[in-house]
Structure 1
Amino acid sequence: VVSLTLLTASGEILECSETTNPELYQAACVHLGCLGILLTITFQCVPEFYLQETTFPSTLKEVLDNLESHLQKSEYFRFLWFPHSENVSVIYQDHTNKPPCSSANWFWDYAIGYYLLEFLLWISTFLPCLVGWLNRFFFWLLFTGKVENVNLSYKIFNYECRFKQHVQDWAIPIEKTKEALLELKEVLESNPKIVAHYPVEVRFTRGDNILLSPCFQRDSCYMNIIMYRPYGKDVPRLDYWLAYEGIMKKVGGRPHWAKAHTCVRRDFEQMYPSFPKFCAIREKLDPRGMFLNTYLEKVFY
């Protein structure tokens, strides 16, 4: 985002960028709708490009022991950990001049990876002890081979999220990745009644200077946990959620603003060095709370 135009609660129209109203720009790039209404956004774009995605199996120990090497080998590196196992699917995504190619297969991607998975997850709501087996079985079935795809960047970056789900996603300091994942693994191993669907998605991003960005002033690892809702049926997740949140807070995590969390203002004051600065900007632009809702009141009050 290069610049923004904002309509404030008083009806004033403000422009901001790195050179015009830079403090407002730092706040408005992630403002949760509480500073005003965005009238215009100017994006800096790049020419259309292709990516090659390479997916291959590994283990949690190998990936965590060689994390820096993986980060250096690929422009866009992430991995999927399958809880209740050591199994990991590593994903590299890199610029390429190769012609498009696809490994898409309706039978494996949908008949097995969607419809059969959802049915078995539904069965597991009656027999939770099956979840660990399902994670290992579907890794063996769908993720043990090396797979390559080439396509336009947006077709590679976007991926199938399957069916309805509950998620939590926190950004932690990148150097805490190994510690956090091993502690989460230990929690699951020492508490057999807590079950976790696959995958735990782990991805990485550079730091920035946006006041309420989860990556404010630090390179970060996003660690996303998931519990599916097969056929819309909720599954018990509170113990898993609270254990995960506890680990994330302990290692200095910050929750994804668009996903589930239990944090309130006192938490954000500890997580974000510039939280008071953002609050001062918000109170100046919207002193009567026109743009607040129940969720934002929990965040700011």
Structure 2
Amino acid sequence: MAAASTSAAPASTSSASQVRLRSQPPSIPPHLQSTKTLQTLVAPAEVSRRSSRARITNWGGTFTYKPQRVFQPSTVAECCNILELARRSGTSVRAVGKAHSPGDLPFSDAWMIRTEDLSGTVEVDSDTPSATFLAGTLISDINDALAANEPPLALTSLGSISEQTIGGAIATSTHGSGYNFASVSSACLELGIIVPQTAEQGGVQVLTCSREQNVELFNASLCSLGCTGFIYSVKMKLEPAFRLRHLVEEIEFDWIFGGKTGAPAIEALVDDGDGGVKMQQQQSSSRGAVGEATMASIDMSTPESEVNRTYGAPRKSRQSIGKLLARGRPLPPSGPRYYPSTRQTDPADIYPCRAPDTDATARVGPDGWMDPEDDDETRAAQSKIDAIIQSSQHTRLWWFPHVKMVTLSRADRTLEPAAGPTFSQRAYHTIVGYHFTQFLLFVSRYHSALPSQVAKVVHYLTHPSFPAEHRGKQSGSISSAEASSPPETSHESQTGSLASEFEGFKAAPPTDLSPAPAGSLKPLQAHHPHSLTVDHSINVFNMDCLFKQYTSEWAIPYTHTAACLRAMRDWLEEEARLDTGERIHFPVEVRWTDADGIWLSHGYGRRNCYIGIIQFRPYNLPTRYRSLFAKFETLMRHFAGRPHWAKTHTCGPQELRKLYPHLDDFLEVRKRYDPDGVLLNPYVRRHLLGEIGEEMSVRRFKKRERGKL
């Protein structure tokens, strides 16, 4: 095995041997030590209450708290002693890395362990290839260490940011984007983990878990939410360092997702425009005719059975899901058909997932069944997006609803030399894309008409113009007959029939990670404004998050992509039309991942489409977001969405059991390895255990903000 240079350790750069020394368990088991001795042993790692490091604030600036005690250990032995002392004290302890989570997942008002000093590369095996890192190592430092290795290596897939710890990325099953690429956790080979068991069970223990050893703990810890054990080391599967040929293309939203037809739609009570129900014409009865004033007085939230009983049958019609959402109308939850039904029999079945719920989540079934919410245009859009996503190894898009445009990003491995952005491009991004944009967002806080105008100005300044002569032309559309037929199962048959519709279409090999031929990635249409660059993988995978922000992200079944985004278009356009409507910022990020077998992974048992929305906080000032996010949640629930664990949501255990067939298995493993609940915090108690009360409230750690609108 060849050891690589390591990332930064607490005081100075450590060698791999020094990092391995720091990862050794204590020589005397902590449960055999006296409480007084444990207090002495942990004292050097405790952070002074007067230190700025004693307060934890997340990157978005939305959550902050000062726990009772904060520790910053640099060795595994110190971590073991802290956990044993917490268990004896009857308190909880939580690990926190970079605190990049937009929600309160890492927060606790009890004890906290800062992991920045638990960093470094333990070893790199260039033959496998694989590498082991302490869990507090930033992914950006991992990228640097692997690039400096001989030969250079890289992680196969990354999320949008690398300024997070590898332990935090594993704990939330962080994801990138790619039709045949699962979450980052799916590439994990082994975990070093500390479990706070009772003295009767052997006390605090240092365990190794993998697909062969402590398998249930391994599966549960690949998306642990920090409550199955304290992860101190992570071994990752790697591949030789690679470059990506990256094509960025400007496309009209309607060109991909089809024109507005009111679909997807459901049968719903007809709105009279003022929040009342329009009733069917009735003959005089014992109750008398229903007058206009009475009709308008019936609130849309009134149960249908009560309306029928009092006034007679209301009038129904097929109505756009998005428009109903904008008007505050309730949407039915997802049908049982779309909830996962597959339970794995082997917890070591991590990736590839052997039995994904592909047919169960399809809106067009193998038996010819079609979701009644959809129309031919919606089904055609899904066929089209299928082809586009599979035309490259890594596909994602950013949607700018205010200008009805999509920025499509596709990337393939290549042998071409890297050529990053020029100095002028970087300068323009800094001045216009960052500073000027932030100023405009700040101004837009003061009038509801401004967010849309700011979005249009920023898009004009930062994106190439779309040719006016091609606007509104639906070239490349797919016939209704093609869209209505049941999908084929093979990769070739799914994409081959559509290849002729796109000038630059080329189906990417499903599992091949070898470089694509030079010049194989082209715009879908020649007139689409585009740019083509070649750069190292990390520079393409990562993106600039720009400003502090509120954010919400959900994962819906992949086959719901077109239907959900079409419904979102109707919703956001209706919000923009209403004087009191919500005003979304830009862009909406859309990514896709493959299915995996990790019990609490967003991708458990199904291929996913991730949809994320943001509300920027220019100059760290608050903006309106709660009502917008609540409606977004409603829409995502309708499409069987799973919330991103690291972001704020309102799902409880009853709902999560429908989405995660192995939730109770996860909770049993958690209880087995942490019987006293040492690793629990308000987030876990609230969402997984269903505990309620002021101590569990998400508002407990919410930052008290000035300048609130």
Shared fold by TM > 0.5? yes
What corresponds to 1:72 in structure 2? 390
445, 461, 465: which one aligns with 1:125: 445
Distance in 1 separating the partners of 2:428 and 2:553:
27
Amino acid at match of 1:43: M
Q: Do the aligned partners of 1:84 and 1:185 also contact (CA within 8 Å) in 2?
A: no
Q: What CA distance in whole angstroms lies between the structure 2 residues aligned with 1:256 and 1:62? A: 29
Moved more, 224-233 or 103-112: 103-112
Q: How does 1:1-301 map to 2 (within 5 A)?
A: 1-10=188-197, 11-64=204-257, 65=381, 66-104=384-422, 105-144=425-464, 145-192=529-576, 193-301=581-689
Q: Deviation string for 1:123-169 (max 9, x for gaps)?
A: 11012212122222322322224122211111111111101111111
CA distance in 2, matches of 1:156, 1:62: 25
TM-score by length of 1: 0.96
211-220 vs 13-22, which moves further: 13-22
Unaligned runs of 5+ in 1: none
Shift of 1:74: 0.9
- The letter of the residue matching 1:265 is P
Native 8 Å contact 2:191 2:235 kept in 1: yes
Contact 2:194 2:229 in 1 (8 A): yes
For residues 53 and 129 of structure 1, the distance between their equivalents in structure 2, rounded to whole angstroms, comes to 36
Aligned-residue offset at 1:22: 2.2
Q: Return the index of the structure with the highest Cα Rg.
A: 2
How far residue 5 of structure 1 moved from its aligned partner, in angstroms, is 2.2
Q: 2:409 is paired with a residue of what secondary structure?
A: strand
Contact 1:3 1:42 in 2 (8 A): yes
Higher relative contact order (CA 8 A, sep 6+): 1
1:10-60 deviation line (CA, Å, top 9, x unaligned): 112332211223222211111011011113221111111111211110022
| 3-state SS of 2:240 partner | coil
The alpha carbon displacement at 1:181 in A equals 1.2
Distance (Å, rounded) in 1 between the aligned partners of 2:541 and 2:209 = 29
Q: Alpha-carbon deviations, 1:199-233, whole Å to 9, x = none?
A: 00001110100011011010001111000001111
What's the CA shift for 1:283? 1.2
Paired AA for residue 91 in structure 1 = S
Identify which range, 205-214 or 124-133, moves more after superposition. Answer: 124-133
Deviation at 1:190, TM superposition (A): 1.8
CA distance in 1, matches of 2:459, 2:412: 24
Q: Structure 2 CA distance, aligned partners of 1:136 and 1:174? A: 29
Distance 1:277 1:26 in 2: 10
Matching residue's letter, 2:430? Y
Cα pair 2:586 2:614 within 8 Å, conserved? yes
| Between structures 1 and 2, the one with greater helix share | 1
- Paired residue secondary structure (1:35): coil
CA contact 1:103–1:147 (8 Å) conserved in 2? no
1:95 CA drift (Å): 0.6
1:275 and 1:81 map into 2 onto residues whose CA distance is 33
> After the TM superposition, which segments of 4 or more aligned residues of structure 1 sit over 3 Å from their partners?
none
Q: CA separation in 2, counterparts of 1:173 and 1:240?
A: 22
Give the counterpart letter for 1:247 in structure 2.
L
Corresponding pairs, count: 301
8 Å CA contact retained: 1:87, 1:136: no
Query: Cα deviation per residue 1:243-262 (whole Å; 9 max; x = unaligned)?
Result: 11011111111111112222
Identity %: 30
Range with greater deviation from structure 2 (258-267 or 123-132): 258-267
The SS at the match of 1:43 is strand
Contact 2:553 2:610 in 1 (8 A): yes
Report the CA distance between 1:61 and its aligned residue. 2.3
- Measure the CA separation in 1 of the matches of 2:254 and 2:654: 36
> Which stretches in structure 2 are left out of the alignment for 5+ residues?
1-187, 198-203, 258-380, 465-528, 690-709
Q: Secondary structure at the match of 2:419?
A: coil
Q: Is the 8 A contact 1:79 1:91 kept in 2?
A: yes
3-state SS, counterpart of residue 195 of structure 1: coil
Counting strand residues as a fraction of each chain, which structure ranks higher? 1
CA distance in 2 between counterparts of 1:80 and 1:39 reads 35
2:217 and 2:228 in contact (8 A); partners too: no
Q: Is the contact made by 1:83 and 1:132 (CA closer than 8 Å) also made in structure 2? A: no
RMSD value, Cα: 1.4
